[in-house]
Amino acid sequence: MSDYIIATSSTADLPKEYLEEHHIPVISYTFTLDGQVYIDDCTEDTKRLLFKAMREGKMPNTSQISEYAYYEFFKNLLEQGKDIIFTDMSRAISNSIVNAESAIEEVCREFPERRIHFIDSYCITAGLNLLVRQLVNRKEAGATFEEVAAWGEEHKLEFIHRFMVDDLQWLRRGGRLSNASAIVGSLLSIKPLLYVCNDGKLIAFNKIRGRKRCLHELILSCKDDLADCYTGDDITIIEADDYEDAVKFRQDLQDTYPQLKDVDIPIMTLGPVIAAHVGPGFIAVAYHGKKRIL
């Protein structure tokens, strides 16, 4: 049985400590702030640096990962004599995936004895976070390359993402919302609730006035696709520079759903690449549910 590696990108928003503990190689996206390029190194310091700048009104830019960068990443891993299961964020969110596929095709020609299985996750941030953790759990429990790859393909659309964006101006600045819609929405304190559908696209499924009410509606929206039981590896909350609200959100979520009452639900920090497009105050819950229903 050949040895293999599970690898991912920085937009899985897994803590650096977890990545190191479980020996998960990560390819990093980058962002630009005040003309300086930063690497998404999965550390809290880098995330806080971005949040501080955004709260000061600065607008970061993000970049795709080049085909060459993916090629070098995969080549380095294959030279260790191990096969690779790799997953990245949804191709509907980032065109980087096209570069990843091209790089995989190229590097596999140079290493015909090795295998790379690319899981097109149809996930992003918190959902990708959970998918990677589940793949790692199965690998560490002794599952083979083929078993883990097959499990990922079969179950990836069971990872549910529900998000709230606090300030529409960030979606406007990123070109995802018109100026007029953003201005009106901000004046009325309208906050969109977002969902990742089966083709990996981010869609708005509701618009609510007021942050408190919006978070309440976000919790209620989970009713139909939550599973019957959970562990801490099946569900997570990701926050963007508002940990206190995330703690309250977690408590309200557990108070609403009995199957979550005794679950140690982790709260993680949104990484800079996605944060650059949604802004501070964003909160998401992701979980291994029944199926995506929107």
- 33 three-state secondary structure: strand
Residue span of the structural domain in which 11 resides: 4-157
Q: How many residues does the chain have?
A: 294
CA atoms of 143 and 6, how far apart (whole Å): 12
Q: Quote the pLDDT of residue 82.
A: 94
Q: Token pair of 231, please?
A: 């562990």
Q: Is residue 293 part of a domain?
A: no
Q: Which of 157, 191, 221 is the last residue of a domain?
A: 157
Same domain, 209 and 78: no
Same domain, 209 and 116: no
Residue 56 has pLDDT above 50, yes or no: yes
Q: Are 248 and 293 in contact (CB under 8 A)?
A: no
CA atoms of 72 and 64, how far apart (whole Å): 15
Same domain, 84 and 179: no
Mean pLDDT for 133-148 is 97
Q: Quote the pLDDT of residue 287.
A: 97
- Provide the 8-state DSSP code for 234: S
- 56 three-state secondary structure: coil
Mean pLDDT of the chain: 90
CA atoms of 50 and 276, how far apart (whole Å): 8
Which CATH number goes with the domain that contains 278? Answer: 3.30.1180.10
Total number of domains constituting the chain: 2
Same domain, 136 and 241: no
Question: Parallel, antiparallel, or unpaired for β 283-288 and 4-9?
Answer: unpaired
Same domain, 162 and 89: no
Q: Which of 135, 157, 179 is the last residue of a domain?
A: 157
Which CATH number goes with the domain that contains 57? Answer: 3.40.50.10170
| 70-125 tens-digit pLDDT | 999 999 999 999 999 999 999 988 889 999 999 999 999 999 999 999 999 999 99
Total-model pTM: 0.91
Instruction: List the 36-39 sheet strands across, edge first.
Output: 36-39, 30-33, 61-63
Same domain, 80 and 225: no
Q: Quote the pLDDT of residue 168.
A: 61
Q: Quote the pLDDT of residue 189.
A: 62
Same domain, 82 and 207: no
Mean pLDDT for 184-191 is 50
Same domain, 217 and 98: no
Q: Are 166 and 189 in contact (CB under 8 A)?
A: no
- 14 three-state secondary structure: coil
Q: Is residue 77 part of a domain?
A: yes
Q: Which of 141, 157, 173 is the last residue of a domain?
A: 157
Same domain, 133 and 162: no
Question: Percent of the chain beyond pLDDT 90?
Answer: 76
Q: Token pair of 2, please?
A: 């050949």
Beta carbons within 8 Å of 39's beta carbon, 6+ residues apart: 28, 30, 46
